[in-house]
């Protein structure tokens, strides 16, 4: 009953893809052996533990081992489809920096940068519009669990200029300089990224974080776990555990109406930490992923070679993913920050001016195949039947961004009542059609 698509797309030929994953190892068997022996000795494991082991185990993890993006990989993402996507997100970052009063230093932070295409397109916009930055300095910070992908990102962003830390325990495990001379650093965790005014980007990151699954039963909520199939000992199966677990008693909202729920506590913790940073240091986060606003139920699925793949079959050889529940992220962000969205990718990109950008690129391009590729990319990103509606954009902002700074208090001892200074109206938040505090 696994439903829905991650994003099954027709395979396109794009010069962005250069590497082949044809020879990549398929560690399915060793991962399966590890999981079955663990389950046999300590009992069924949560879906979250299963996902964590399969995706980010430091030795065998799917993300740790593979370059899974592109036609030769398992799935394709918007920044890999069209340069316009990253360019518009670059404009968004600049616009949020301006809306915050142009602080003197801007940290660009990206979670799960994949092949580095999105941040590379963002940085090209920063270079082209460097005049707008005035004297402000910019640094780049990437939160990436995969050594293999960090190497590909480093190649894309800084050529051979980056260096790996001497010790594996260093919080900054790789450092370098971008082509434009900006300092760039790699971390495994948000906590290691320096504090300060930051714009955070997360595209197709939250869907990769481990989820717990719960089923409503006559006896109340019960957790769905992963067990060894007693009939076929080298196969895994889902079971509903008979007694409540810590997760089933802690993670379900009291007003939950659905029959089946997926909860991503790790995503909730990251959002809380982001909210805390944005409230304390200023800045904004833009989270884009396929997801829903608290309505969907069973969305856990696997992808291999651009096709749906049984999530429990040959673990480690396919991507595992679940739709992002934005209503849960909003709850976890709490009142510390203002939240907007989710809005559909189509609305967001249209509000950001994707139509105008496409026209400009087409006007300057005579090559028929590049023109066809630009139009194809535009259609993939915005068509409601493709990525336009399934992908959603959500933002977290410092409250001051929407309300404007507090009016100045009259100085003590001032003889005359000061004329109240009218603060300029805050800039609208680009991409989100309506301004509103949640
Ligand atoms: N944002 C990119 C790639 C999406 S794939 C794009 O849109 O093309 C997911 C990315 O998140 C990969 O780079 C993967 O290695 C990274 N990732 C997955 N789980 C992670 C974790 N727990 N911590 C840090 N990075 C993670």
Per-residue confidence (pLDDT) for residue 167, from 0 to 100: 79
Contact 270, 287 (CB under 8 A): no
Per-residue confidence (pLDDT) for residue 11, from 0 to 100: 33
Per-residue confidence (pLDDT) for residue 169, from 0 to 100: 79
> Which one, of 268, 266, 290, lies nearest residue 334 by Cα?
268
Per-residue confidence (pLDDT) for residue 415, from 0 to 100: 62
Q: Select the more confidently predicted residue: 417 or 46.
A: 46
Per-residue confidence (pLDDT) for residue 425, from 0 to 100: 77
Whether residue 103 is predicted with pLDDT greater than 60 in this model: the reply is yes
143 lines ligand 1 (CB under 6 A): yes
Average of per-residue pLDDT across 120-134: 96
Average of per-residue pLDDT across 37-63: 95
Ligand 1 atom closest to Cα of residue 266:
22
Average of per-residue pLDDT across 297-310: 96
- Give CA–CA dist 211/117, Å, rounded: 27
Token reading at 336: 């510390």
Instruction: Give distance in angstroms: CA of 403 to centre of ligand 1.
Output: 33
Per-residue pLDDT band at 4 (split at 50, 70, 90): very low
Instruction: Give distance in angstroms: CA of 128 to centre of ligand 1.
Output: 27
282 lines ligand 1 (CB under 6 A): no
List CB contacts of 257: < 8 A, sequence separation 6 or more.
none
Say what the pTM is. Answer: 0.91
Instruction: Give distance in angstroms: CA of 183 to centre of ligand 1.
Output: 21
Instruction: Give distance in angstroms: CA of 161 to centre of ligand 1.
Output: 22
Contact 82, 380 (CB under 8 A): yes
Instruction: Give distance in angstroms: CA of 371 to centre of ligand 1.
Output: 30
Per-residue confidence (pLDDT) for residue 416, from 0 to 100: 61
> Which one, of 125, 129, 183, 189, lies nearest residue 157 by Cα?
183
Average pLDDT score, the chain: 89
Distance of alpha carbon 92 from the chain centroid: 16
Among left, alpha and beta (phi > 0; psi -120 to 50; other), residue 375 is alpha
Per-residue pLDDT band at 395 (split at 50, 70, 90): very high
* Pocket perturbation via mutation, ligand 1, pick of 55, 61, 62, 114 by most ligand atoms within 8 A of CB: 114
Give me the phi and psi of 213, to 5 degrees please.
-115, 140
* Pocket perturbation via mutation, ligand 1, pick of 6, 148, 208 by most ligand atoms within 8 A of CB: 208
pLDDT in tens, 304-317: 999 999 999 999 99
């955070």: which residue's tokens? 200
- Give CA–CA dist 242/66, Å, rounded: 37
Lowest mean pLDDT among 144-153, 172-181, 186-195, 402-411: 402-411
Per-residue confidence (pLDDT) for residue 25, from 0 to 100: 45
Instruction: Give distance in angstroms: CA of 203 to centre of ligand 1.
Output: 8
Average of per-residue pLDDT across 22-48: 81
* Pocket perturbation via mutation, ligand 1, pick of 52, 55, 63, 380 by most ligand atoms within 8 A of CB: 63
121 lines ligand 1 (CB under 6 A): no
Per-residue confidence (pLDDT) for residue 405, from 0 to 100: 72
Per-residue confidence (pLDDT) for residue 410, from 0 to 100: 61
Ligand 1 atom closest to Cα of residue 143:
24
SS3 286: strand
Per-residue confidence (pLDDT) for residue 151, from 0 to 100: 94
Token reading at 21: 């994953």
Ligand 1 atom closest to Cα of residue 207:
9
79 lines ligand 1 (CB under 6 A): yes
Q: Which residue's CA lies nearest to atom 10 of ligand 1?
A: 112
Whether residue 438 is predicted with pLDDT greater than 80 in this model: the reply is no
145 lines ligand 1 (CB under 6 A): yes
If one counts every other C-beta atom within 10 angstroms of the C-beta of residue 58, the result is 10
Residue 46: exposed, middle, or buried by beta-carbon count in 10 A (0-12, 13-18, 19+)? buried
Per-residue confidence (pLDDT) for residue 68, from 0 to 100: 87
> Which one, of 213, 202, 341, 190, lies nearest residue 272 by Cα?
190
Average of per-residue pLDDT across 213-231: 97
Per-residue confidence (pLDDT) for residue 420, from 0 to 100: 57
Contact 5, 308 (CB under 8 A): yes
Per-residue pLDDT band at 2 (split at 50, 70, 90): very low
* Pocket perturbation via mutation, ligand 1, pick of 89, 145, 147 by most ligand atoms within 8 A of CB: 145
Helix (H) or strand (E) holding 185: strand 183-187
Per-residue confidence (pLDDT) for residue 436, from 0 to 100: 41
> Between vectors from CA 57 to CA 229 and to CA 323, what angle results, nearest 5°?
75
Whether residue 10 is predicted with pLDDT greater than 50 in this model: the reply is no
Per-residue pLDDT band at 336 (split at 50, 70, 90): very high
Average of per-residue pLDDT across 34-45: 96
Whether residue 252 is predicted with pLDDT greater than 70 in this model: the reply is yes
Per-residue pLDDT band at 13 (split at 50, 70, 90): very low
> Which one, of 299, 392, 345, lies nearest residue 84 by Cα?
345
């Amino acid at each position: 009953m696994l439903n829905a698509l991650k994003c099954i797309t027709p395979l396109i030929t794009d010069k962005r893809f250069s590497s082949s994953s044809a020879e990549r190892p398929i560690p399915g068997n060793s991962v399966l052996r590890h999981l079955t022996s663990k389950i046999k000795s300590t009992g069924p494991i949560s879906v979250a533990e299963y996902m964590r082991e399969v995706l980010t185990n430091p030795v065998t993890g799917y993300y740790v081992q593979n370059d899974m993006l592109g036609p030769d990989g398992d799935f394709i993402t918007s920044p890999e489809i069209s340069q316009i996507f990253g360019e518009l997100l670059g404009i968004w970052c600049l616009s949020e920096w301006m809306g915050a009063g142009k602080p003197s230093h801007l940290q660009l932070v990206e979670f799960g940068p994949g092949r580095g295409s999105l941040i590379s397109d963002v940085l090209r916009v920063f270079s082209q519009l460097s005049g707008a930055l005035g004297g402000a300095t910019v640094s780049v910070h990437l939160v990436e669990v995969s050594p293999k992908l960090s190497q590909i990102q480093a190649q894309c962003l800084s050529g051979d200029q980056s260096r790996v830390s001497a010790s594996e325990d260093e919080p900054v495990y790789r450092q370098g300089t971008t082509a434009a001379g900006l300092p760039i650093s790699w971390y495994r965790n948000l906590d290691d990224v320096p504090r300060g005014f930051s714009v955070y980007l997360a595209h197709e990151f939250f869907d990769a974080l481990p989820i717990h699954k719960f089923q409503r039963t006559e006896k109340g909520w019960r957790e769905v776990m992963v067990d060894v199939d007693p009939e076929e000992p080298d196969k895994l199966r889902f079971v509903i555990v008979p007694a409540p677990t810590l997760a089933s008693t802690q993670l379900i909202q009291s007003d939950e109406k659905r029959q089946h729920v997926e909860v991503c506590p790790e995503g909730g913790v990251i959002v809380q930490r982001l909210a805390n940073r944005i409230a304390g240091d200023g800045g904004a986060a833009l989270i884009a992923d396929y997801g829903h606003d608290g309505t969907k139920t069973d969305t856990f699925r696997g992808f291999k070679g651009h096709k749906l793949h049984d999530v429990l079959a040959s673990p480690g050889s396919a991507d595992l993913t679940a739709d992002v529940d934005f209503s849960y992220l909003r709850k976890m962000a709490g009142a510390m920050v203002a939240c907007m969205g989710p809005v559909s990718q189509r609305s967001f990109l249209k509000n950001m001016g994707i139509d105008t950008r496409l026209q400009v690129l087409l006007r300057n391009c005579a090559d028929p195949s590049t023109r066809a590729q630009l139009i194809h990319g535009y259609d993939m990103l915005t068509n409601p039947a493709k990525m336009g509606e399934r992908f959603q954009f959500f933002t977290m902002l410092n409250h001051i961004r929407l309300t404007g700074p507090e009016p100045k208090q009259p100085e003590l001892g001032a003889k005359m009542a000061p004329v109240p200074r009218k603060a300029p109206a805050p800039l609208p938040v680009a991409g989100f059609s309506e301004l509103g505090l949640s």
